[in-house]
A and B are shown apart, each in its own frame.
Chain A
Amino acid sequence: MARIRLDAVQKRFGATRVLDRVDLDVADGEYIVLLGRSGCGKSTLLRCIAGLEEVSEGRVHIGDRDVTDVSPRDRDVAMVFQSYALYPHMTVARNLAFALEIRSRPRAEIDAAVKDAADLLDIAHLLDRLPAQLSGGQRQRVAMGRAIVRRPAVFLFDEPLSNLDASLRHHMRLELKRLHKRLRGTFVHVTHDQVEAMTLGDRMVLLDGGVVQQVGSPRDVYETPANLFVAKFIGSPQMNLWEAQGHGAHTRVQGVDVDVPVPADGKYTLGVRPNDVRIEAGAPMTAKVEIIEALGDEAFVHLLWGEQRVVARVDPRTAYDVGEDVRFTFGRAHRFDTTTGSRLP
């Protein structure tokens, strides 16, 4: 049906290279999230799939077809734009019906499809309104309705939730998940929000500077970041990172002996997630509590460890005093090549 395959896709605007040899294989019916900072090329990649941008090099396949030279209108994809791009002079009903009217479907079929989409998204009561008469959240729903009404094989979402307030965003995340279950289409969702990526994606693709950094399930990416960029980008608060020096069983971080689960020789960057910093009596390392951040259901303590800082996730019910000395150890640790940033075994 609608597997998407990108082969060594490159995109240049003049001399600027925005996408650099992107290979990607999205399974039929998969929900994939493209994640990266603003300006890393996410929208461009999405637009290359849609055909709104021509690729400079490489091939784009949708389903069994090579669509590299196929017009966007014949690719059987629908897109929700970040600005929603609703037709301002048409009512919601006509916005939804437009794609089917253009394809000259019979009136009865159009009406039924519009009604289905409107019911599914809970916008049936808005059908006679103009986009200007809708709230941001309602416009967002109409934009999604316009995408689903003709049941395309591929759905493309460009930061669909970024213009919504926090509670609505949470609600729409669930809604998107539900929609994906119902429609069984291939979803490609672009976001800069790691929470969206972690919660929505079957798999996620991390992009930086137009280069794919890692592709994998949210769990994989979180558990085994492929490089320093991914390690820093995923997880909040950020993973603790230090320059480390290993000699056989001994590992030192700026002159302090540390206890790592799997020691290794040579210089490298040591990474430990706040989750994996365990504060317990009798542990081998000592640090001083600098700041306590309590967030209700979780808490983080920031420790001063010689010249280094350590962030640890702790039980919010345990009380710590600022200035107090605590003993800690590491659970899981990651090692990265300091110069290339890539993950070491």
Chain B
Amino acid sequence: MRAPSVPVQVVVHAALIVFTALTLYPILWVVRMSVSPGQGFQSGLSPIPEHVSGEHFRAVMGTVAADGSWLFAHQLLNSIIVSCATAAVGVALATTAAYALSRFRFPGREAGMDAFLVTQMFPSVVVAVPLYVLLDTCGLLDSTVGLVLVYAATSVPFSTFTLKGFFDTLPRELEEAALLDGASRLQTFVRIILPLARPALAVTFLFSFMTAWNEFVLANTLLSDPRAWTLPVVLQRYVDDYGTQWGNFAAGSILVSIPVVVLFFALQRHFVEGLTAGAVKG
């Protein structure tokens, strides 16, 4: 392929720089707020802080529970456990379900897929109260297990649809070749299908993780004990009717973003591979 001409390159790069700046500006602005002393809302256009202080980070991370244990650590761990467990349960169940839906014809297949769609139609505020009652009955309020169950119930259908779409694009002949080579269904799934599905699995995992990581409405309803809170609930406590602690809120937002960014970079290799693997003809 010929390289684009110089004027074209200049225009393209200028446009990219503008968009990057537009995207980064609000983030830099939050960074400024998080390191500037005081809880006031910072006005002014410049994203460069005038004074730098770690007080908000210390305040957010240094919270202590009534019994003297380190509260923030509990809450961070809650978020990590809930999000990882949701993603893991979601991907594990969705992968097998999606494969079955893509490859087998069985009674209830169509109905099952329709039911999956229906579950996606209700906003979480609608289901919050019934879920509260359900979890209360099961004694799962304020528990990690309860929250993971609730999150997985929403992430499995979505992940299943995404992965089914992917499996539908894999040529059946690959499986037939493996079958003739002597592989069982399970061996074919593990040794042929799963390795090829790696990019799709990475995307699905990241998506489930982020949905759970950012979820606020249900977590806020189902968790009342501060030691059980996840980070979005923690963050929200800095914004209340009597005045918002903007500095703490900004510092908290940045802390919450870091794990997602790390995870994204960790999985990025698989996404990029996925883009080129699509070009390989079976």
Residues of A that sit less than 8 Å from B by CB: 50, 52, 71-73, 77-79, 81, 83-89, 98-99, 102-103, 130-132, 146, 150
Contacts and interface: CB of A to CB of B under 8 A. Distances in A.
B183 A79 contact: no
Interface in B185-224: 187, 191-192, 195-196
Most buried by B among A50, A73, A78: A73
Contacts of A150: 181
Contacts of B279: 132
A98 B191 CA distance: 10
B180 A79 contact: yes
B281 A83 contact: yes
8 contacts: A52-B176, A73-B180, A87-B178, A88-B280, A89-B196, A130-B280, A131-B280, A150-B181
B182 interface: yes
B269 to A, nearest CB: 15
Contacts of B171: 83, 85
B16 interface: no
Given A88-B280, A89-B196, A83 B183 contact: no
Given A52-B176, A89-B195, A102-B187, 6 more contacts: A77-B180, A83-B173, A83-B282, A86-B282, A88-B174, A89-B196
A95 to B, nearest CB: 9
Contact of B178 (A50, A84, A98, A103): A98
Contacts of B277: 88-89
B184 interface: yes
A73 B280 contact: no
A205 to B, nearest CB: 22
B198 to A, nearest CB: 8
Contacts of A77: 180
B276 to A, nearest CB: 8
B177 interface: yes
Contacts of B282: 83-86, 88
Given A52-B176, A87-B177, A102 B183 contact: yes
A85 B187 CA distance: 17
| 3 A-B pairs closest in CB distance | A99-B181, A85-B173, A132-B280
Contact of B179 (A73, A84, A146): A73
B153 to A, nearest CB: 32
A131 B184 CA distance: 23
Contact of A73 (B174, B184, B191): B184
B183 A85 contact: no
B179 A52 contact: yes
Contact of A102 (B181, B280, B281): B181
Nearest to A152: B180
A88 to B, nearest CB: 4
A104 B282 CA distance: 25
Nearest to A84: B282
B270 to A, nearest CB: 12
A78 B277 CA distance: 26
A85 B176 contact: yes
Given A81-B173, A85-B174, A132-B279, A73 B196 contact: no
A73 B177 contact: no
A150 B182 CA distance: 11
B182 to A, nearest CB: 5
A130 B277 CA distance: 11
Given A131-B280, A132-B279, A132-B280, A87 B183 contact: no
Contacts of B191: 98
